[in-house]
Amino acid sequence: MLLEVRDLHVEFRTRDGVAKAVNGVTYGVDEGETLAVLGESGSGKSVTAQAVMGILDTPPGRITGGEVMFQGRDLLKLKEEERRRIRGAEMAMIFQDALSALNPVITVGDQLAEMFTVHRGLSRKDARAKAVELMDRVRIPAARERVRQYPHQFSGGMRQRIMIAMAIALEPALIIADEPTTALDVTVQAQVMELLAELQREYRMGLILITHDLGVVADVADRIAVMYAGRIVESAPVHDIYKAPAHPYTRGLLDSIPRLDHKGRELYAIKGLPPNLTRIPPGCPFHPRCPLARDVCTTDDPPLYEVSGTRGSACHFWRECLDG
Ligand code: SF4
């Protein structure tokens, strides 16, 4: 396995108390595989990714347990200097907001070229040529001219392509894309997702795709891990999830995707809000919002039950959920 996160715990100190943002998350991704991590905001999906990348805000964020095994090493045991070397060269991240992730006063060409001068020791001229090559690769038209432009001179979709170019520049083994298309309109979203999937296949990278939108992952993901209140509540191959979810929360997410054949019908929304992470409800954390909840759900925290060899669900009544 390229990356294996094992029983990861992350806490944040807040004015309200300790927020348990990640509570025993275990997931993995292999080379050439795409894992989609899905959940509403506050589910812990981005915090887990930040812990993997080593860019968690510390303090107030604190990793209180677990392992992050990457190519056989536990990243949590490495010195910051070593982690910095791994970031960019061996694992890279694509953020939702390219405008704030890119430096506004440096041309995109120089930002791309810097990856090669700093990490690969290339001359300025060779690094600039590589920058143009990369911009071509992510299909930015007139790359030779546009390499001299600043981030604000590009559209949202083009800026996201530049972020992708920066992420793949050093051909890392793993890319984490955190809501990479959320800020874009639907047509551009599809183009950017397609490009990301194509590059991932070409370079055989592991890809972790973080999203709140189950609709965008159907064509690109191999597996899905659904997160709620800082834990994985369902983990399964993508086709199994679309065929029949084994957790009521996954079912709720699926039912909230707009569908053409449901035109005119009111769109389903999961009732209520995700829990305050300083006061996670006892028992199953989803019980205040769950249409299948029974008494046992308010007291007994469900483990991740084995549904099949490749599938798990943290619901006492996963069989009922599977049956629809
Ligand atoms: Fe709903 Fe109970 Fe299953 Fe939790 S354990 S998801 S509350 S049915």
Does 32 fall in a domain?
A: no
Q: 301 CA to middle of ligand 1, Å?
A: 9
Q: 26 CA to middle of ligand 1, Å?
A: 20
Does 106 fall in a domain?
A: yes
Residue 318 Cα: closest atom of ligand 1: 3
Does 121 fall in a domain?
A: yes
- Please give the chain's pLDDT, 324 residues, in tens: 999 999 999 999 988 899 999 999 999 999 999 999 999 888 999 999 999 999 987 678 899 999 999 999 999 999 999 999 899 889 999 988 888 889 999 999 999 999 999 989 999 999 999 999 999 999 999 999 999 999 999 999 999 999 999 999 999 999 999 988 887 888 888 888 889 999 999 999 999 999 888 877 888 899 999 999 999 999 999 999 999 999 999 999 988 877 666 666 677 788 999 999 999 999 999 999 999 999 999 999 999 999 999 999 999 999 999 988
Q: What are the angstrom distances between the C-alpha of 47 and each of 35, 55, 90, 271?
A: 16, 9, 20, 24
Does 126 fall in a domain?
A: yes
Residue 302 Cα: closest atom of ligand 1: 5
Does 141 fall in a domain?
A: yes
Which domain range does residue 145 map to? 97-171
The half-sphere exposure of 114 on its side-chain side, counting CA atoms within 13 A, is 11
Does 109 fall in a domain?
A: yes
Does 45 fall in a domain?
A: no
Among 51, 73, 78, 71, residue whose Cα is nearest residue 62: 51
Q: How many domains does the chain have?
A: 1
Does 162 fall in a domain?
A: yes
Paired strand residues for 69: 4, 74
